[in-house]
Structure 1
Amino acid sequence: METLNPFDDENQPCYILRNAEYQYSLWPDFSAIPAGWASVFGPAPRGQCITWLEQHWQDIRPTSQRRA
């Protein structure tokens, strides 16, 4: 039996996490938030999280590179 990766599961509720460099991550809601990351959106369906990312994360470079 094939196991679905939770990051590929359209029905998996997710969070949007942000680190100190203002980089974002799509994170499944059943998994503990890793150190150095904070929730900024969710939990919400994966599609809503992706829409949030598309609207709020226009520059994927870390903050330290944007300042340079």
Structure 2
Amino acid sequence: MQGAEFKVVVNGEEQYSIWAADRPCPAGWREEGFSGNRNECLEHIDQVWTDMRPRSLREAMERAE
């Protein structure tokens, strides 16, 4: 996969992943807006995905406070 192009995708729980740029997003995921090689995409995810908890868990914890 040397030189392969990827895109960053995100699901409804605000969890991030990478996906081959030439393929449609899997069901339940949408394009986040960043693309590049594998390492560039993973570095981008490291920068933007700062809270690994799923959105539903974060919201439940906020309600419990």
Q: TM-score range by the shorter chain?
A: 0.7 to 0.9
Q: Is the 8 A contact 1:16 1:25 kept in 2?
A: yes
Say how many residue pairs are matched: 60
**Please, what TM-score do these two structures have when normalized by structure 2?**
0.77
Over aligned residues, Cα RMSD in angstroms?
1.4
**Please, what TM-score do these two structures have when normalized by structure 1?**
0.74
Higher helix share: 2
Aligned-residue identity in percent? 32
**Runs of at least 5 residues in structure 2 that lack an aligned partner in the other structure:** none
List structure 1 segments (4+ residues) > 6 angstroms apart after TM superposition: none
**Runs of at least 5 residues in structure 1 that lack an aligned partner in the other structure:** 1-8
